[in-house]
Amino acid sequence: MSAPDPAKIERFRARLREEWTEEATVSAWRKWNAKLAAFTRGATEAILEGAQLRPGLRVLDLASGVGDPSLWIAEAVGPSGHVVATDLGPGMIGLAEELARARGLRNIEFRVADVEALPFPDESFDVVTCRFGVMFFPEQLKAFRECLRVLKPGGRVAFVVWGKREQPFLGTTAGVLAKYVEVPPPDPDAPHIAMFGERGLLKSKLEAAGFAEVREEVRTVPARWAGSPEEYWQQFTEVAAPFRPLVAKLTAEMRARAEAEIFAALRKLSDGSAITIPLEIVIGTGVHA
């Protein structure tokens, strides 16, 4: 496979930065962060387990968003450990800092940092983690090699990413949208949310970057949204930055039809007070030998 065109990579990078640092994204995550943390608890547990944390470790969390899972990691490594949480822009990471202060955490610091050029010395962390970020990185090998560089020998990487596209999390929302608006054909070089649904891809990329003892596990975890289908969908349209342009393309009439279909699909997963969505995630781990 030939290397993707650098100008194209630069366009992916610019779009990513815009989507995740714009005010609409930051205010949506501010509004919904507590319910999102509860919804994604199974994925948090998976990364805490994959990272094999213990008190005293020094951990770098990448693409930390508003602090999930970095705040839990800070609790797991305790006062003798330390966490550096990072994200592309000050908006998301600033909110993470507020939430950490509210929880009384003192062993965590917050930095704006792009994963492709980490502002940390070689061999400075015991563990590098990232939940629901890696699949968006425009140059994943470059980012993974940066992880390897900042890890101490024997240090561990643990990533959690989304699994396959054909799963209810996407099928009940983005999948329905795609029936109503024209979705541009995907660029085969573009990173996308479900790319690591391809079995073995995360493992092969971690190995290509130089990690040893690489493992990939596909797991389904229940995600519970304590609210109505209407509320869940409202949250999705605000929080899911890559899908907002599709929602914006809907006319009022198309939106009404799409929403009827979305609510019907979500209602099948609801017990009347909460929706439970089985999330397929992929857990990738490796060691800096």
* Binding of ligand SAM by 87 (CB under 6 A): yes
Which residue is associated with the tokens 């693409």? 63
Residue nearest to ligand SAM (CB): 65
Contact yes or no for 278/221 (Cβ under 8 A): yes
Name the residue nearer to ligand SAM (CB basis): 148 or 180. Answer: 148
64 makes contact with ligand SAM (CB under 6 A): yes
Cβ of residue 114: shortest distance to ligand SAM, in angstroms?
4
For residues 212 and 189, give the distance between their C-alpha atoms in angstroms, rounded to a whole number.
Answer: 26
- Candidates 52, 104, 63; CA nearest to 85 is 63
Q: Between 68 and 259, whose beta carbon lies closer to ligand SAM?
A: 68
Is position 172 an interface residue for ligand SAM (rule: CB under 6 A)? no
68 binds ligand SAM (CB under 6 A): yes
**Interface pick for ligand SAM out of 81, 83, 114, 205 (rule CB under 6 A):** 114
* 131 contributes a contact to ligand SAM by CB under 6 A: yes
> Does 157 contact ligand SAM by CB under 6 A?
no
- Residue among 132, 169, 225, 243 that touches ligand SAM (CB under 6 A): 132
* Cβ proximity to ligand SAM, 61 vs 126, nearer residue: 61
DSSP of 60-104: EEES-TTTTTHHHHHHHH-TTSEEEEEESSHHHHHHHHHHHHHTT
Both tokens of 264, joined, read 């019907």
Quote the tokens at residue 175. Answer: 């999948």
For the chain, the farthest-separated pair of C-alpha atoms sits apart, in whole angstroms, at 58
